[in-house]
Amino acid sequence: MARMMYREAVLSTIAEEMERDENVVVLGEDVVGGNGTAGGPEAIGGIWSTSTGLYGKFGADRVIDTPISESAIMGAAAGLALTGKRPVAELMFADFIGVSLDQIWNQLAKFRYMFGGKTKCPAVIRMAWGAGYNAAAQHSQAVHHILTGMPGLKVVMPSTPADVKGLLRTAIRDDDPVIFLEHKALYGVKGEVPDDKDFMIPFGHARLTRAGNDVTIVSTGLLLGFCEAVADKLAAEGIGCDVIDPRTTSPLDEEAILDSVEVTGRLVVVDETNPRCSLAGDICALVAEKAFASLKAPPLSVTPPHTPVPFARELETAYLPSIPKIEAAVRKVLSYR
């Protein structure tokens, strides 16, 4: 085991996979950082420090610094993937799917099915997502509900350094397009990570981060930590919460959620996307359809409101689900009947 930050887990996994397979290539804006300047390549490196040193090790053919051209980056990832490479493309902020969505949605995602199963498309699209930095409406969004709704994409959302390691390795070795969502607020979080260079976590397997028999809480990203804090607080009062991190939203580990709700009879889903057509709504519907008989209370979701992400500190705090809001929701499902 090694102790490392979430961002270090991203970088070291990419480096290990590039070492292992010469078809793995990295592309994105400023992933080299400093090209065409007096400081030279790697003067700075990517803004998230998730590509530092790759250029020096693997060279310009495999670590491709791109102009600000998200559509072409995503399209190039598609073309690389169709022609035998394993691109790991970086979209600096998840919000920029807006600029590049056609290449992700109508191209990458559809090849395998639309071409009659005759092709692989092993592309990984990494992107930094989430609020908490007062980066305002166009640099703070949660987009996993949009991408999860697109057939053909696998959507991965690691919450710990170990999950980054295991899931990113699986993503790079996977033959289908994978969206890999890195929460900005987690980049600095440290954790134990297995040393095994083949350590992989299969997609579609949730992680139970707290165990209890009274309420099931499902969450991911920054908010998962909030849910764990609530579970710990309630545990001291003798209330037990199952806290489930789905880890991948497509495929979704339905069984883990349904099994838990069959025991607890109560569900709270906490998510950072806006409430309509959301992950929270999706999981509540899943439970209503498939575990209705087990329910002791209506499923509840805690999400931001149906607004863009506001800038000011007070507003962003009010926008995001908080520990008190999550606790109130859990107490509400507990006190139902």
Partner 1 sequence: MQLSREALLRAYRQMKLIREFEERLHVDIQTGEIAGFTHLYCGQEAVAVGVCEHLSTDDKIVSTHRGHGHCLAKGCDVDGMMAEIWGSRDGLCKGKGGSMHIADVDKGMLGANGIVGAGAPIAVGAGIAAKIDGKGHVAITFSGDGACNQGTTFEAMNMAVVTKAACIFVFENNHYSEHTGFEYAVGTQKDIASRAEAFGMKIWRGDGTDFFSVFETMREVLDYVRVPGNGPAAVEFDTERFFGHFEGDPQRYRGPGELDRIRETRDCIKKFRASVTSAGLLTDADIDAVDADVMDAIENAVAKAKAAPRPKPEDVLEDVYISY
Ligand X SMILES: Cc1ncc(C[n+]2csc(CCOP(=O)(O)OP(=O)(O)O)c2C)c(N)n1
Residue 213 binding result from ligand X, partner 1, none, given CB thresholds of 5 to 8 Å by partner type: none
| 258 contributes a contact to ligand X by CB under 6 A | no
| 188 contributes a contact to partner 1 by CB under 8 A | no
| 311 contributes a contact to partner 1 by CB under 8 A | yes
| 104 contributes a contact to ligand X by CB under 6 A | no
- Is 139 noted as a catalytic residue in this protein? yes
- Which of 309/330 has CB closer to ligand X? 309
| 60 contributes a contact to partner 1 by CB under 8 A | no
Task: Name which position in 71, 82, 112, 258 contacts partner 1 (CB under 8 A).
Answer: 71
- Which of 5/32 has CB closer to partner 1? 32
- Which of 67/116 has CB closer to ligand X? 67
Which residue is catalytic, options 139, 144, 145, 183?
A: 139
- Over the window 7 to 46, marking each residue x when it contacts partner 1 by CB under 8 A and - when it does not, the resulting string is ----------------------xx-xxxxxxxxx--xx--
Residue 214 binding result from partner 1, ligand X, none, given CB thresholds of 5 to 8 Å by partner type: none
Least Å distance, CB 271 to ligand X, is 25
Question: Residue 63 forms beta bridges with which residues?
Answer: 26
Task: Name which position in 137, 211, 285, 288 contacts partner 1 (CB under 8 A).
Answer: 137
The two beta strands, 207-210 and 124-129, are: unpaired
Q: 3-state secondary structure string, the chain?
A: CEEEEHHHHHHHHHHHHHHHCCCEEEEEECCCCCCCCCCCCCCCCCCCCCCCCHHHHHCCCCEEEECCCHHHHHHHHHHHHHCCCEEEEEECCHHHHHHHHHHHHHHHCCHHHHCCCCCCCCCEEEEEECCCCCCCCCCCCCCHHHHHCCCCCEEECCCCHHHHHHHHHHHHHCCCCEEEEEEHHHCCCEEEECCCCCCCCCCCCCEEEECCCCEEEEECCHHHHHHHHHHHHHHHCCCCEEEEECCEEECCCHHHHHHHHHHHCCEEEECCCCCCCCHHHHHHHHHHHHCHHHCCCCCEEECCCCCCCCCCHHHHHHHCCCHHHHHHHHHHHHHCC
| 32 contributes a contact to ligand X by CB under 6 A | no
For the segment 58-97, give every residue that binds ligand X (CB under 6 A).
68, 70, 92, 96
Task: Name which position in 238, 292, 306, 335 contacts partner 1 (CB under 8 A).
Answer: 306
Both tokens assigned to 326 = 């999550």
Q: How far apart, in whole angstroms, are the C-alpha atoms of residue 224 and residue 232?
A: 12
- Which of 31/241 has CB closer to ligand X? 31
Task: Name which position in 175, 307, 324, 328 contacts partner 1 (CB under 8 A).
Answer: 307
Residue recorded with tokens 């689900």: 321
Both tokens assigned to 94 = 């998840």
| 203 contributes a contact to ligand X by CB under 6 A | no
| 200 contributes a contact to ligand X by CB under 6 A | no
Q: Footprint of ligand X on this chain (CB under 6 A)?
A: 29, 68, 70, 92, 96, 99
Task: Indicate which residues carry an active-site annotation.
Answer: 139
Q: Footprint of partner 1 on this chain (CB under 8 A)?
A: 29-30, 32-40, 43-44, 47, 65, 67-72, 95-96, 98-99, 133-139, 274-276, 305-308, 310-315, 317-319
